[in-house]
A and B are shown apart, each in its own frame.
Chain A
Amino acid sequence: MELSGAQILFECLKREGVDAVFGFPGGAVIDIYDEMPRHPEIKHYLVRHEQGAIHAADGYARATGKVGVCLVTSGPGATNTVTGIANAYMDSIPVVIFTGQVPSPLIGNDAFQEVDIVGITRPCTKHNYLVKDVARLAGVIKEAFYLARTGRPGPVLVDLPKDVIQARTEFKYPRQVRMRSYNPNLTPNAKQVARALEAIHKADRPLFYVGGGVVSSDAHKELTWLAKKLNVPVTATLMGLGSFPGDDPLWLGMLGMHGTYAANRAVQECDLLVAVGARFDDRVTGKLATFAPGAKVIHVDVDPTSIRKNVRVDVPIVADCRETLVALKAQVEAAGGPETLRRKRQQWTETIKAWKIDHPLTYNGADSGEIKPQAVVETIYELTKGEAIITTEVGQNQMWAAQFYNYHKPRTLLTSGGLGTMGYGFPAAIGAQVAFPDTLVIDVAGDGSIQMCIQEMATAMCYNLPVKIVILNNGYLGMVRQWQELFYKKNYCATCMDWAPDFVKLAQAYGAEGYRVTDPAQVRPVLAQAFGNGKPTIVDVVVSREENVYPMVPAGASLHEMLLV
């Protein structure tokens, strides 16, 4: 049967198992919206700004592991998604973005709402397409989803000229994708796995350093098994939090610029660093020349470009994290089980324990009468017992959410790591709430960041998405202010938020609930009330204004040169 481009799009989405699309209409995609009501299986969420759509699709993808989908019109609709696309690209998140485009005969004519979005997003997508012929549409969509979720995941953009959406053709959905130029290697080389296992067994001071790849490949179970059986402590990047239980004795906390003392010391003193699905980002390594100076490095990553990009590697394994850890586990079992390979490493264990006890994550002034932002995050953890999905904005709020909440399960922290996009957390929370209507979803926010996508309050209200926004309101662009305090002689230029809305009234204006907390004693009861009220809610928590995030490795310093509380 012949279908229009718009009909083909919906048929393809169904076959890809898409149940939610975040979007915003316009002239170039009006035919798609015209077709939409005939496909109720696919629920459309009308956002209030296209940046909200792409972040929501991204949040949906991070929370579920499925591909997030976003649909916008040409020109400004498309350009409004660019920040969110770059955000998904930096954090390797699978999303497919459909953009409308002016009719093909007009492309290149500076037509109304024309923009070369394929050109603009080339460096921040895994791949992108301009569909020129409706006969190619189904094939392109199939490839787009395949590319987005396989190998190193990432955003894929599909640009749809209006005439292609309107044209008709026989619909056939390809059963598989065959691309001669794209074949990610997922299976690890058995010899390399054996070398890795031998190195782990021999090491006196081994350390797992795990990242977003463990989350995206669902390898947390294998990781946990291996770490426990082989007695190897674990640290994770911001993106890897949740891939190892946050209350296990082997857990060291996050490493890097705002990592724990124990994690950063362990990196500097280990003799074997087992990096799994982590990319040695500069926020993690600090000064490269002195990073993990005594360590042999094993690096598992599906993307060859991640390997040896920043640090030398002794045992590279280009493969999927999960497949590699499964293979490691199988070799452990084949070698006579964990009992034969487990080593006590008493000294290493004791040293780490001492670091943890001597320098835990902490803060001063718990009884100062001011609300400490860290305490707010601790309270959120206590109230939710780690069962919530936490999203964050960017800045100090994000770091405290990473430090003072124990993540036990993957996909429970959704945060903009690579791009550091203020305004990410709230729409991402909406995406997560769409995927998990019955889970408590909390955006730990800053007073600055939250104003960047606050318009999505209407979206949350409209679709009954009871997302909670907890603003750690310090009246500052706090993270930048912290840098100004520490490294720019307190020259607080342009970081004081001299004017802010009344967030309680703002919530109320949208029909949502709003609470303000100024008394430390009220933090717990108000948060409990907010989490139980079943409605979109803003909790504006007025916290100590000039609190800093510690530990901190100053930019360019070595990991062990931490500023402590």
Chain B
Amino acid sequence: MRHVLSILVENEPGVLSRVAGLFSGRGYNIETLNVGPTLDREVSLMTITTSAPEVVIEQIIKQLRKLVTVIKVVDMNDHMAVEREMMLVKVGAEGEKRAEILRIVDIFRCKVVDVSSDELTIEATGDRGKLEAIIALLQRFGIKEIARTGAVAMKRSMQ
């Protein structure tokens, strides 16, 4: 099953390669990986999404906790959580295609962030399902490029 793991790590050089090396060295897969600062300057937050059987997920979490620079690991699947990912999509938008694309942008509450005579760059935010839906709908116009941030997640206040 797919799990979203929030990993608080010491903000120091090499910490990303410790975590990434753990996944590659032990043959775990990383679907998405996102790293950013937190309120505490000495701590970074990594969000990793990975898919594996539950026993393997258990090992992944234990192995992560064992890394000396990892402070805390939360499996968001154990909680009510909000999950979001942002992506930029560049689609071909010549002639009458353009209006149709803009309608999709509107329905999904995306934003157009760059325009040229024959292309539109769209910014979309949402959970994975929504982003996949957008991609599926834009496919037929010709997607030229996609850039995705990977998921970030947060526990809901009410659990």
Contact = CB atoms under 8 A, between A and B. Distances in A.
Interface in B53-96: 55, 58-59, 62-63, 65-71
25 contacts: A118-B14, A119-B14, A119-B17, A122-B14, A122-B17, A122-B18, A122-B21, A126-B68, A147-B68, A179-B68, A180-B71, A181-B67, A181-B68, A181-B69, A181-B70, A182-B68, A303-B66, A304-B62, A304-B65, A304-B66, A305-B59, A305-B62, A305-B66, A308-B55, A308-B58
Interface residues of B, number: 21
A336 to B, nearest CB: 38
Among all A-B residue pairs, the 9 with the closest Cβ atoms: A127-B68, A181-B71, A305-B62, A304-B62, A123-B25, A182-B68, A305-B63, A122-B21, A305-B66
B91 to A, nearest CB: 40
Of B17, B59, B66, chain A has the most CB atoms within 10 Å of the CB of B66
Nearest to B70: A181
A119 B25 CA distance: 13
Nearest to A307: B62
A147 B66 CA distance: 12
A259 to B, nearest CB: 26
Instruction: Select the residue from A119, A147, A179, A182 with max chain B CB neighbours within 10 A.
Output: A182
Is chain B's interface secondary structure helix, strand, loop, or mixed overall? helix
Interface of A: 118-119, 122-123, 126-127, 130, 147, 179-182, 303-305, 308-309
B98 to A, nearest CB: 48
Contacts of A147: 68
Interface string B83-114: 00000000000000000000000000000000
Given A130-B13, A182-B68, A308-B55, 20 more contacts: A118-B14, A119-B14, A122-B14, A122-B17, A126-B68, A127-B68, A127-B69, A147-B68, A180-B71, A181-B9, A181-B10, A181-B67, A181-B68, A181-B69, A304-B62, A304-B65, A305-B59, A305-B66, A308-B58, A309-B59
Nearest to B9: A181
Contacts of B25: 123
Contact of B21 (A123, A130, A305): A123
A122 B18 CA distance: 7
A436 B98 CA distance: 83
Contacts of A305: 59, 62-63, 66
Interface string B1-32: 00000000110011001100110010000000
A557 B18 CA distance: 35
A119 B13 CA distance: 11
Contacts of B59: 305, 309
A307 to B, nearest CB: 8
B54 to A, nearest CB: 11
Nearest to A125: B68
Nearest to A118: B14
Nearest to A156: B68
A309 B60 CA distance: 10
Contacts of B63: 305
A303 B10 CA distance: 21
Nearest to A123: B25
A122 B69 CA distance: 12
Contacts of A182: 68
A180 to B, nearest CB: 6
Contacts of B18: 122
Contacts of A309: 59
A228 to B, nearest CB: 34
B20 to A, nearest CB: 10
A202 B21 CA distance: 45
A289 to B, nearest CB: 14
Nearest to B25: A123
Nearest to A318: B62
A126 B66 CA distance: 9
A122 B13 CA distance: 13
Contacts of A180: 71
Residue among B10, B21, B55, B62 with the most chain A CB within 10 A? B62
Nearest to A124: B25
Contacts of A181: 9-10, 67-71
Max chain B C-beta neighbours (<10 A), residue from A118, A123, A181, A304: A181
A179 B68 CA distance: 9
A304 B14 CA distance: 24
A390 B79 CA distance: 53
A182 B66 CA distance: 8
Nearest to A152: B66
A268 to B, nearest CB: 23
A375 B56 CA distance: 45
Nearest to A303: B66
A92 to B, nearest CB: 12
